[in-house]
Structure 1
Amino acid sequence: MIQVVWEFVVREKAEQRFMLVFGPGGAWSRAFCDAPGYRGTTLLCDISDSRRFLVFDLWDSAPAREEYLGKHPDGASQLDVALAELVERKTELGVFHMRADATVRARPKRRV
């Protein structure tokens, strides 16, 4: 599995519209929903700067992502055009291999 990490800084007062694009059922996830190997997107908002977001796209592999983007170059560019009015800056921070996924689960309470 890989995660593609993006940083977005959105224009003032565009935060809500931006979250609609990247949220559940938004244009971003719809653009990739049929892509073999695409597993979803996570959107994070900086707690100290409401205009700064991180977007994590989860893919089975880098080749799966590259193959899909190579076959559908217009999809990503159309999204970029649509996002231009919302985004001041978009930066791909990198493509990362997932090495571990640590999830903390609540432990059942002990009976005394």
Structure 2
Amino acid sequence: MIATIWRFRVQPGKLDAFERAYGPQGDWARLFARAEGFIATELLKLRGEPATYLTIDRWQSEAAFVSAKAALADDYAALDRCCEAYTSEESWLGLHDIVH
């Protein structure tokens, strides 16, 4: 299994909308759930920094993740444009192997 991790700084007044879109049952998780190999999304809020979050998307394999990115490219881009208003900063922290 692998995980992709993103860090976000959320705009003032946009926390609720951000959490709805990026949470485990949110817009992004529902999009990814359409792809084979998606497992789950986690949303973490950094302690001491209420506007800083991490998302962790778990996939069965890197191949499943790559395939999903290609298959969902148009819908991904559209959702990304909609969600841009929620954040002031977005950083991809990479693809990580899950160690059992």
More displaced stretch, 21-30 vs 33-42: 21-30
Q: 2 CA distance for matches of 1:99 and 1:70?
A: 26
**TM-score normalised to structure 1 length:** 0.84
Mapping for residues 11-90 of structure 1, pairs under 5 Å: 11-90=11-90
1:20-65 Cα distance to aligned partner (Å, 9 max, x none) = 1122431111111121000010000011111100000000011111
Deviation (angstroms), 1:78 = 1.2
Q: Which runs of 4+ in 1 moved over 3 A?
A: none
Counterpart residue identity of residue 94, structure 2: G
Identity %: 27
Count of residues in Structure 1 that have an aligned counterpart in Structure 2: 100
**TM-score normalised to structure 2 length:** 0.94
Instruction: Note the residue ranges of structure 1 that are not aligned, 5 or more in a row.
Output: 101-112
Structure (1 or 2) with the greater helix fraction:
2
Root-mean-square deviation (Å): 1.0
